[in-house]
Amino acid sequence: MTNRGWAPIWHCGPRRIDLRERPLIMGILNVTPDSFSDGGRYCDLDRALAHGRQMIDEGADIIDVGGESTRPGAESVLADEEKARVLPVIQGLRTESDVLMSIDTAKASVAEAALEAGAHIINDVTGLRGDPAMRSLAAESQAGLVVMHMQGEPRTMQASPCYEDVVAEVRQFYQERLDVLQAAGVKAEQILFDPGIGFGKTVDHNLELVSNLAALDDGLRPQLLGVSRKSFIGKVLGLETPERLEGSLAVNTIGLWQGVVCLRVHDVSATRRAADMAVAVRRKRRNRPQVF
């Protein structure tokens, strides 16, 4: 056990990931026409596979494959269409590599097919609240889970986000989800929590959450942080999406310093280097939480 209160192991199906070894880098592979940063770039199977290989070579521990955009205002996609987008990519990468793979979906039927194709992790932006079948699938498959906080739904989430205390409410969500999922047969060790930066939050909400990440996971389960190229970085720095690398690296480093164990990113190589450097320094800090 660490002194953060949670076991330092992540159960992802048959795989057991030691969260003390080094930060996990989750590379984003969107096979969608409308994702906010790279929509349409990897819809072609050959391009998608080539990008997956590149991220693995650059140091990605996990490839997160998504077939439905969750950007603000995004419309939903039918399950069959989502499967047609993601399954060939997962199957193709699985024939070449034993890298961990994640399916970014809120649909249990898509998640189940992805696990059968070789994925190990379900990354559900609804926090397993959307599809009633997702909880039983998670319990039966023992897949790794990323359980994200979101206020509202992608189509409307940025209309008027409102909280009395965003940090307290996200931590309450973590506790509620942990209780519900364990009651459904999910093991705590399957779960990483995600505060859902940019999902039903204003710029100030996002900044407050990033400033208080250590308060969110204390005694519960460790966290994944997904801030790569997001709009709050652009608004703070006055930059368009392609120019947000430095801001993303800064926020991710702040997250690592507070004990985040996984970073979901577009820019794998730069993040891998920044993360390894940050943790090398962090290990020398006295009176620190024993995370890595």
Which residues are marked as active site? 230, 264
Q: What is the DSSP string of 40-52?
A: TTT-SHHHHHHHH
Query: What is the rounded distance in angstroms from the CA atom of residue 174 to the CA atom of residue 180?
Result: 10
CA distance 92 to 101: 12
Task: Sort residue 156 into left (φ over 0), alpha (ψ -120 to 50) or beta.
Answer: alpha
What distance in Å separates the CA atoms of residue 197 and residue 229, rounded to the nearest whole number? 11
Nearest to 257 by CA among 86, 69, 79, 23: 23
Residue 178 burial (10 A CB sphere; 0-12, 13-18, 19+):
middle
Distance separating alpha carbons of residues 186 and 140, to the nearest angstrom: 8
Kindly report the number of other CB atoms within 10 A of residue 162's CB atom: 10
Q: Is 17 helix (H, G, I), strand (E, B) or coil?
A: strand
Q: First and final CA of the chain: distance in angstroms? A: 12
